[in-house]
Chain A
Amino acid sequence: GIQVEQSPPDLILQEGANSTLRCNFSDSVNNLQWFHQNPWGQLINLFYIPSGTKQNGRLSATTVATERYSLLYISSSQTTDSGVYFCAVVGGTSYGKLTFGQGTILTVHP
């Protein structure tokens, strides 16, 4: 099945810093989503982005499907951004099954 790799595995920032999270996938995808799992365990949708670029406030994402990667940008980070960021994809033959990466653990210090 499709493989999803995220980097870095851990990231520690001071409030106000910017960061880039990367997601590499091993095959063509029908769907790519970024999620934030907050300290209470909730999975919050950030972006549905199988290709192209989207922005939502301080967050933006870019997926280059032909090169099989996606990037999540966080600008002016805040302590509330802390948590785990997951990239998840639906491979070309996987119907609707999301395959998740292992996540990036982000800690933002005040």
Chain B
Amino acid sequence: DARVTQTPRDKVTEMGQEVTMRCQPILGHNTVFWYRQTMMQGLELLAYFRNRAPLDDSGMPKDRFSAEMPDATLATLKIQPSEPRDSAVYFCASGFRQEQFFGPGTRLTVL
């Protein structure tokens, strides 16, 4: 049963610390997306990769967020330094053709 995996599932950290979230897309999918879900903003796109190349990261605060795909089996989202307003659930999704499949999410709490 192919599915997107994300680690860690929960992360509690203090303001100013670096946070790294990891995602393993479904094998064979050529697109990877990072979304963030908050009560106020709902679900919003942060970054988008196709064939490991970044295509759109306009939804991401550039000064503190970075997203990479070092290989086809790993996508990372890094926040440095983290702030309390970054507290949210971060979802990774992978896609084949047009359909997207979501991972279980990383719940981030920044104190």
Interface residues of chain A, those whose CB is within 8 Å of chain B, are 30-31, 33, 35, 41-43, 45, 48, 50, 86, 88, 90, 95-100, 102-103
In the complex, chain B residues whose CB is within 8 Å of the CB of A88: 43
**Dominant SS among interface residues on chain A:** strand
Decide: A100 near B42, CB < 8 A? Known: A33-B100, A35-B102.
yes
Interface residues of chain B, those whose CB is within 8 Å of chain A, are 31, 33, 35, 42-45, 48, 50, 55-56, 89, 91, 93, 95, 98-102, 104-105, 107
Is A41 touching B89 in the complex (CB atoms < 8 A)? yes
Decide: A96 near B105, CB < 8 A? Known: A48-B99, A50-B98.
no
Decide: A42 near B104, CB < 8 A? Known: A95-B55, A96-B50, A100-B42.
yes
In the complex, chain A residues whose CB is within 8 Å of the CB of B33: 96-98
Using CB atoms, name the residue of chain B closest to A45.
Answer: B101
Is A43 touching B48 in the complex (CB atoms < 8 A)? no
Q: How far is the CB of A39 from chain B (nearest CB, A)?
A: 13
Is A96 touching B95 in the complex (CB atoms < 8 A)? yes
Decide: A33 near B99, CB < 8 A? Known: A96-B31, A102-B42.
yes
In the complex, chain B residues whose CB is within 8 Å of the CB of A50: 98
Using CB atoms, name the residue of chain B closest to A90.
Answer: B98
Is A43 touching B102 in the complex (CB atoms < 8 A)? yes
Q: How far is the CA of A100 from the CA of B44 in the complex (A)?
A: 7
26 contacts between A and B (CB under 8 A): A30-B98, A31-B100, A35-B102, A41-B105, A42-B102, A42-B104, A42-B105, A43-B102, A45-B99, A48-B98, A48-B99, A50-B98, A86-B43, A88-B43, A96-B33, A96-B50, A96-B95, A96-B100, A97-B33, A98-B33, A98-B35, A98-B43, A98-B45, A98-B93, A98-B100, A103-B42
In the complex, chain B residues whose CB is within 8 Å of the CB of A102: 42
